[in-house]
Chain A
């Protein structure tokens, strides 16, 4: 039985997205086979089962993810962080539109999935994959700002390095696999703004709480 009462709308389009990485690694997850593809579990994938590309739709959103993951709460640690920041041009289709808490509700899904524990999302991730979705657009759990969204792509993708302006989307011969990528920062620290607007693990997600209050929604009820 499907987890949703109505399937999420399928989005098609071109997105500008951001992602930070360890300086020693390429921006996206891919490899030569299962042996080299052990991506630690995240919201939309389980380690050793799948991989996913976690992208934010703003650079501050990407940095907030870093602050949350590494529990960076002060300038002392923030300014000692040195990560690569990438700008990516995603050309996709069949992206599940769960971009707002309202969209979750419209599909008969619990909106708290967007910001709650990762494990709770895995059955939905499995179902989205099985239904042919190539990714999901969802409210950001880490960057606690209105309209902050993350775009997650299911499966492997490969970067196409760009050193000048971002090319026209039509220049990409295989957008199903390749994503144009510009290295924005070679050794950057999260912004102060991102750190101040990060929802840390165990914190209350203010944007979601406001939405609950405005809509009379009670999680888990």
Chain B
């Protein structure tokens, strides 16, 4: 990572690249905890590099937080506060062994915030119908043209064009296209492209499928559907079972 003064990123792509680059540098510092303990005897020699690392992290964060798009964003504020916390923990860790994993904790939190930033930038991009169409065409490249056309409610010919990178202005169903893209973006962290396609036809919302709700009104059902797709990030057991039928007990 360069330690020279960094200009604030001017475009979304630059901003995302800067955040991803910083995340990569932070991740590199996060070796398994037990290996860090084993490396402790050599720790004093690592101190100068830690100072250099901090200086580089600080410059990168300042650069991100100075970008016009993120200057007032809550995540940028969190990142800046984490830099200050990192400074405190590094100063407190005089021998560089980080025995209570305090430095490590700040770096891990920083990584989560950077990940949230990158995802938000990607989500913002998918709110543009043309970008959304391009994303779905690539993400579901193995899905049959007719099935994708049905999902997006467009013609098979348009799907073929999207797959060739020919995406013009989206006039038909832009709300549907962006919603499908946001949902596919969420789902692909948990299933294959075919699994994502099947998800749209699973009866999971009061016996209705996501596709039926999208057919009805992609604007009204946008939030509940995104929440449903996003809720799969971690282990929660959505909803409740029925009870009270003692006579039904097996």
Contact = CB atoms under 8 A, between A and B. Distances in A.
Interface of A: 19-26, 29-36, 39-43, 54-56, 62, 65-66, 68-72, 76-77, 80-83, 112, 115-118, 120, 140-142, 144, 150, 158-163, 167, 171, 173-174, 177-178, 199, 201-206, 208-210, 212-213, 217-220
A32 B78 contact: yes
Nearest to A144: B241
Contact of B234 (A39, A76, A212, A218): A39
B235 interface: yes
Contacts of A35: 74-75, 77-78, 116
Interface residues on B, range: 35 or more
B248 interface: yes
Residue in A21, A22, A150 with the greatest tally of chain B CB atoms within 10 Å: A22
B244 A82 contact: no
A218 B244 contact: yes
Interface in B178-211: 189-192, 194-195, 198-199, 202-204
B48 interface: no
B237 interface: yes
B46 interface: no
Contacts of B238: 68-69, 118, 201
B241 A31 contact: no
Contacts of B243: 112, 115-116, 204-205, 208-209, 212, 219
Given A43-B237, A141-B241, A31 B78 contact: yes
Contacts of A171: 34
Contacts of B221: none
Contacts of A36: 74-75, 78, 112-113, 116
25 contacts: A22-B232, A23-B190, A31-B78, A31-B109, A33-B77, A35-B75, A36-B116, A40-B230, A40-B236, A65-B236, A69-B235, A71-B203, A80-B191, A80-B192, A82-B195, A83-B190, A117-B239, A142-B237, A161-B32, A171-B34, A203-B242, A204-B242, A204-B245, A204-B248, A220-B244
